[in-house]
Amino acid sequence: MIAAKENFPTLTPEEYFTWEEQQLEKHELINGQVYAMSGGSKNHSLLAARFITLCTNHLEESGCDTATSDLRVNIVGTNNYTYPDASVTCDVRDKTTTQHITYPCLIVEVLSTSTEAYDRGSKFRMYRQNPALIDYLLVSSTSIEIDLYHKNNAGDWLIINYKAGDTIELKSINLNFPIEQVYRGLTLEPKTPTDIIRE
């Protein structure tokens, strides 16, 4: 996500849906303001696609739906809408909506330098308002590292850090897989201070 459009009027969800249909790029709606979504790297795109494929294949005929970054998620109890890199909903209430889902049990965000603080901070705080959310997965695109924010049965959020050699456990959809399965064949280049400055 990048800065809100300057001097842009506050939009209702209905105005936002109509306006965005005419745009060439996606925008999140937060507190009535629209924020353009920045493009990702090749690894970002490949990792998101692999998670979508993995979840889709695993959930075939389960009644759950796996969505790409083209599907909005409505933040429960608000008029805010985001575009996660991947999401899974098994909630029947999401069967009745056409513009968005509201009750995903799993959300995946592939990290980039420009969005990592937002994904770990205020975006996660918004997502936590969803009582159906169980797993929030933050995926590095520069190294074999995945952080899982998992809500346990007591309602507490635990952070599990996965690295090379580990097996990821997503209890939200009853799926286990080796971390290397989604990183296979990728050229991983840790960011240098120069790269961060350029972004």
- pLDDT attached to residue 192: 54
pTM: 0.90
98 within some domain = yes
Q: What percent of the chain has pLDDT over 70?
A: 91
CB distance 72 to 100 below 8 Å: yes
Question: Which CATH number belongs to the domain containing residue 73 in this structure?
Answer: 3.90.1570.10
- Residue 145 tokens, joined: 């590292």
- pLDDT attached to residue 30: 94
Amino acid (one-letter) located at 93: R
Q: Note down the domain range covering 91.
A: 40-198
What are 137-174's pLDDT values in tens digits? 999 999 999 999 999 999 999 999 999 999 999 999 99
For residues 5 and 7, give the distance between their C-alpha atoms in angstroms, rounded to a whole number: 7
33 within some domain = no
Between residues 117 and 92, the one the model is more confident about: 92
8 within some domain = no
Q: What is the chain's mean pLDDT, rounded? A: 91
